[in-house]
A and B are shown apart, each in its own frame.
Chain A
Amino acid sequence: MAERHKYSIIVPTYNERLNIALIVFLVFKHIPDVDIEIIIVDDGSPDGTQDIVKQLQQVYGDDRILLRARPRKLGLGTAYIHGLKHASGNFVVIMDADLSHHPKYLPHFIKKQMESGADIVTGTRYVRGGGVHGWTLMRKLTSRGANVLAHTLLWPGVSDLTGSFRLYKKSVLEDIISSCVSEGYVFQMEMIVRASRKGYHIEEVPITFVDRVYGSSKLGGSEIVEYLKGLVYLLFTM
């Protein structure tokens, strides 16, 4: 008997008033016949993001758009944990709210998981069919250098370690997330490396990543230091 699947899409937001509306529209455009709920974990955005979410609930229904807000910025890892508590699906998708992750890839994730039975399907920007737009040469260089370093040290089994566009079986996400301690993109690395070490079946799908439609993301010295610290932590504890 075919199991009924429901996908809970957790989107942590902070000041994403416009992007969250665009994302919700695009999600329903690309997977109209899939049983989903979008859980928006907003950390007290001052720009009125939560008001927009309430308007979206009028359009799409408050059974499919869940607003589970928090009082202030409390970190990415805890945002996922918070979202997970309210997730009623048997699968969980995590994605960014700034439109760098395009909902048009959701059918690819779902299809890959159903075909392979994977525990985790992770989006990768670094293979043919995937790609990045909006990065300077310097940014690409640091990304590539970071990737080579991480692969040499950790042998992670995935091509995109810091990616945060992923589909998890809910039970698998719950298992991994409880043991993760890092923050930011090191958190994403820790999640996938932990999963790999625990022997979970991980598949990849190519995704394209358009960086920051409205604004530009920075990669400064402190981020690099954080990354290196994270690598060393993962090297010695995994």
Chain B
Amino acid sequence: MKHIAKIMAFLMAVTAVWISLLQTKMIPQSHTWLLPLYFIVSLGCYGLLMVGVGLMQFPTCPQEAVLLQQDVIEAKQFLKHNGVDVGTD
């Protein structure tokens, strides 16, 4: 099944639940009408939270830049020795 179809199916199921909640009046109508809004806002907050957390935990590797420079020096030495033009860049 295409991915979008899965999402649509999920949304339709959620909508069906919402409509049935409206019908059965288990929850006060005023609350039920606002449920989709709560859902969207929660989704938005969750997204922002994930972005924030991810940003804080973003893995960095400053030591890799140093190692890379060492690799570059080693490489240039070998290549120069073997006739490859590593020039001045």
CA–CA, A25 to B86, complex, Å? 12
B40 interface residue, CB < 8 Å from A?
Answer: no
The answer to whether residues A133 and B85 also contact, given A22-B71, A141-B55, A238-B2 and a CB cut-off of 8 A, is: no
A140 interface residue, CB < 8 Å from B?
Answer: yes
Q: How big is chain A's contact interface, by range?
A: 35 or more
Out of B51, B79, B85, name the residue touching A144 (CB < 8 Å). B51
Q: Give the number of chain B interface residues (Cβ < 8 Å).
A: 31
Within 8 A of B (CB), among A125-157: 125-134, 137, 140-141, 144-145, 147-149, 152, 154-155
Residues of A close to B64: CB separation below 8 A: 102, 131, 133, 208, 210
Would you give the shortest CB distance from B4 to chain A, in whole angstroms? Answer: 5
Closest residue of chain B to A104 (Cβ to Cβ) is: B71
Residues of B close to A208: CB separation below 8 A: 61, 64
Is B55 within 8 A of A210, CB to CB? Answer: no
Is A21 within 8 A of B58, CB to CB? Answer: no
Is A140 within 8 A of B58, CB to CB? Answer: yes
The answer to whether residues A18 and B82 also contact, given A131-B60, A148-B51, A148-B54 and a CB cut-off of 8 A, is: no
A residues within 8 Å of B by Cβ? 17-18, 21-22, 25-26, 29, 51-52, 55-56, 58-59, 99, 102, 125-134, 137, 140-141, 144-145, 147-149, 152, 154-155, 197, 208-210, 213-214, 235-238
